[in-house]
Structure 1
Amino acid sequence: MTRLKAIAVKIIRELIRDVRTLALMMLAPLIVITLMYFIFDVNNEADIRIGIPHTTNETFIEGLPEDAEAVPYEVAPVMETLLDTDDLDAFVEISDEAVNITYKNEDPTRTTAVRQMVQSGLEAMKEEQLNSVMGALPEEAVLPSVDVEEDYLYGSQNSTFFDKMFPILIGFFVFFFVFLISGIALLRERTMGTLERILSTSVRRSEIIVGYLIGFGIFAIVQTMIIVMYSIYLLDMTIKGAVGWVFVINILLALSALAIGMFISTFAKTEFQMMQFIPLIIVPQIFFSGIIPLDNIADWISVIGYVFPLSYAGDALTEVMIKGNGFLHIWKDLLALVLFILVFVLLDIFGLRKYRRV
């Protein structure tokens, strides 16, 4: 019993002295839970925007659910630009003989919601038509049939939510493993004294950081190529845009993860502490990467996403892999990733100052 008490007291004293570990244990879960509360609390219902011609039957509009917004247009729009620029989920054209629905289909779950809402509107129209013909003579009481035609701006009717998540998941796994491996590797260099011996020479701090960046970067690039090629050729995932841009985005994301991992490792004394940074660095990025729709979230929360590189990479990968867009649509995201790399490389160089003793 005395030995058990001694071991327990030893652990308690070590944790009390390790303020950083205590803070991470106590505060990190609270931060993550708070983010989840604000994100999931306001995102239970999606506001659907449906474009319609201004001559559309009022009964159809009245038959739509309350969370559907009908946006009328007087001039026939160009679907390829309308659905994106006006942030519409679908455009519905109704004639006497057919109903043509063009889905944006960037998020298949929203497409399913639109399909159900349009069906509600059509059911309201059918009910009105049925009531009108019921008052006619029996031989005239024929309800006209209407054909429903469905088109998809992105993907097809077989698209699933995984198709939306897939580009972001590629970026997430690239970021996660590069961040973790680079941070732990540099931490080991420091704890084993290798980094201190290098710093005792005339080698510049910038040369050390850039050298580490190049060394780890080569393996990060190889890892990125393996993940992308595996996904395309073995998992048979469709990439609508140029594969080259997928490589560029993921390589920039990997380098930013490398620079951030090296920076975070300067605050950790052990590998256990490095792992404790995952809830603060990795988990919030999942929320703001695009996997979880944030259309209805408060502006002050959505701003947090701008400090995470995965949010920019997720947006760029979605533009390329799902929408088939190129440089003109992703250059801002690429620039943000480059800035992340430059900023954290400078912070890494500055952070080495406290380890240089000569």
Structure 2
Amino acid sequence: MTQESSTSKRSVGGGSSIVFIIAGVSFLRERSSGTLERTLATPLRRSSIVFGYFVGFFLFVTIQTILIQLFIVNVLNVTQQGNYFLLLFVNLLTASVALSLGLLLSSFARTEFQLIQFIPLAIVPQIFFSCLFDLTDAPTWVEVINRLMPLTYAADALQNIMIRGYGFREIWLDLVVLAGFMLVFVLLNMRALRKQRPV
């Protein structure tokens, strides 16, 4: 594993963890402060509420993602062979997956401490199974778990852009899978809101 590959993988896992925590804690505070409950009392549909929160948090996530990429590429001088803006798009899509997962899991937590306890279950396995180690010669069951991790596809896309200089046509499948994960998490979040207000 090259130094650039290791750095890009760690940045994916670390950035996703930060987004997960920020999104989850923020959404949890909305619930504990009663803001979400008052919003659910309005005629708004669950889909509108979820997408509203998602877009609001996404603005902050975008700023964070841009700063992280600027630091990695321009300050740390990590090798970047591919298109800079395609790299940014992949990072934003990855952050969106982490954001939607954080919002989903925050629906099942009652306190911030409980939400933090989700990290070993939701984030740490993804980092170990898809970001830090070469799993080429791993057993079949490890490969199956690896393919169920969103970070697997994010790390693959980022490596192909930064190290191999690939374009959209070579990484489109990774992007589709990441978008699929995000959509599933958002839909599950809508269903989770049924415990707050039946529709």
**Distance in 2 between the 1:181 and 1:215 partners?**
12
Identify the residue that residue 334 of structure 1 maps to in structure 2: 175
Q: Which runs of 5+ in 1 are unaligned?
A: 1-106, 109-161
| Structure 1 position 304 matched with structure 2 position 121 | no
| Structure 1 position 354 matched with structure 2 position 195 | yes
Q: Which amino acid aligns with 1:224?
A: T
Considering only aligned residues, what root-mean-square deviation do their CA atoms show, in Å? 1.3
Contact 1:182 1:261 in 2 (8 A): yes
Contact 2:129 2:142 in 1 (8 A): no
> TM-score if structure 2 supplies the norm length?
0.96
> TM-score if structure 1 supplies the norm length?
0.54
Q: Percent identity?
A: 45
**Distance in 1 between the 2:129 and 2:85 partners?**
25
> What pairs up with 1:126-137 in 2 under 5 angstroms?
none
Contact 2:13 2:131 in 1 (8 A): no
Aligned residues: 199
**Distance in 1 between the 2:147 and 2:20 partners?**
18
Contact 2:19 2:99 in 1 (8 A): yes
- Please identify which structure carries the higher strand content: 1
**Distance in 1 between the 2:164 and 2:88 partners?**
16
Contact 1:189 1:195 in 2 (8 A): yes
Q: Which runs of 5+ in 2 are unaligned?
A: none
> What pairs up with 1:206-245 in 2 under 5 angstroms?
206-245=47-86
Contact 2:10 2:131 in 1 (8 A): no
Q: Which of 94, 99, 108 is the aligned partner of 1:258? A: 99
**Distance in 2 between the 1:357 and 1:331 partners?**
38
Contact 1:253 1:313 in 2 (8 A): yes
- SS of 1:289's equivalent? helix
Identify the residue that residue 317 of structure 1 maps to in structure 2: 158
| Structure 1 position 179 matched with structure 2 position 11 | no
- How far does the alpha carbon of each residue in 1:95-147 deviate from its partner, in whole angstroms, 9 at most, with x for none? xxxxxxxxxxxx24xxxxxxxxxxxxxxxxxxxxxxxxxxxxxxxxxxxxxxx
Q: Which of 2, 21, 31 is the aligned partner of 1:190? A: 31
Contact 1:200 1:357 in 2 (8 A): no
**Distance in 2 between the 1:239 and 1:298 partners?**
32
Q: Which has the higher contact order (CA 8 A, sep 6+)?
A: 2
**Distance in 1 between the 2:43 and 2:156 partners?**
43
- Please identify which structure carries the higher helix content: 2
| Structure 1 position 166 matched with structure 2 position 7 | yes
> What pairs up with 1:78-97 in 2 under 5 angstroms?
none
